[in-house]
Chain A
């Protein structure tokens, strides 16, 4: 079956611009996670959705970052007024959300470059 997909695979933008990154989770997965991975580092948690609601957004670095999941499936990570420090690979993961079923399946990521 299809895994987690993310679009675009690469995004180059200029400082100050607005970007949207999309994640399509595995069908039926109720939990969805966004992580950010800088070069040479492990993924860093940003936000987690259970269904349509953000259950934990404690990892969002500031109010320029926002994410939605209006129908409980596809999610969009939105970054306003991008800064060069936002350059990283943005990873999306999903899981079944069942008790004890914590395996998170990751997408290939979107590489964001802010010039």
Chain B
């Protein structure tokens, strides 16, 4: 099955700085890579995702890049704000995405943005 490694486990930045979180995956057939944000006491919320037919996707201050050859993908947050503080999870499907697949999650990165 899929093995997803995520790092760093914690990341502290000053407000306005950029933050980068990286994940690697093991199954070269994986083709869907979501990122979730989880705030304390809440369920994970999808913030951005990327499919294997593109190398980068942006949505305002958030971007995700994918390197299929190296089997890694990264989350980039620019101009960080205190409300970005949360735990971020990367994920990948254990089987090629058919629209019904489950997800294997990384262990999470706790992002702390200091004012």
Residues of A at the B interface (CB closer than 8 Å) are 4, 31, 33, 40-45, 48, 50, 55-56, 59, 91, 93, 95, 97-109
Interface residue total, chain B, C-beta cutoff 8 A = 28
CA distance A44 to B100 in the complex (A): 16
| A99 pairs with B98, CB closer than 8 A | yes
Extra contacts, 15 of them, besides A42-B105, A100-B99, A109-B42 (Cβ < 8 A), are A4-B43, A31-B100, A40-B108, A42-B4, A42-B6, A45-B103, A50-B100, A91-B44, A99-B98, A100-B97, A102-B34, A102-B100, A102-B101, A103-B46, A104-B34
Known contacts: A40-B107, A106-B45. The answer to whether A33 contacts B102 by CB under 8 A is yes
Interface of B, secondary structure class, is loop
B49 an interface residue at 8 Å Cβ cutoff?
yes
A-contacting residues of B (Cβ < 8 Å)? 4, 6, 32, 34, 36, 41-46, 49, 89, 91, 93-94, 97-108
- Nearest-neighbour CB distance to chain A for B76, whole angstroms, equals 20
Q: Which B residues are CB-close (under 8 A) to A106?
A: 36, 43-45
CA distance A33 to B103 in the complex (A): 10
Give chain B residues whose Cβ lies under 8 Å from the Cβ of A97: 99-100
Q: Within the assembled complex, what's the spacing in Å between the Cα atoms of A31 and B98?
A: 12
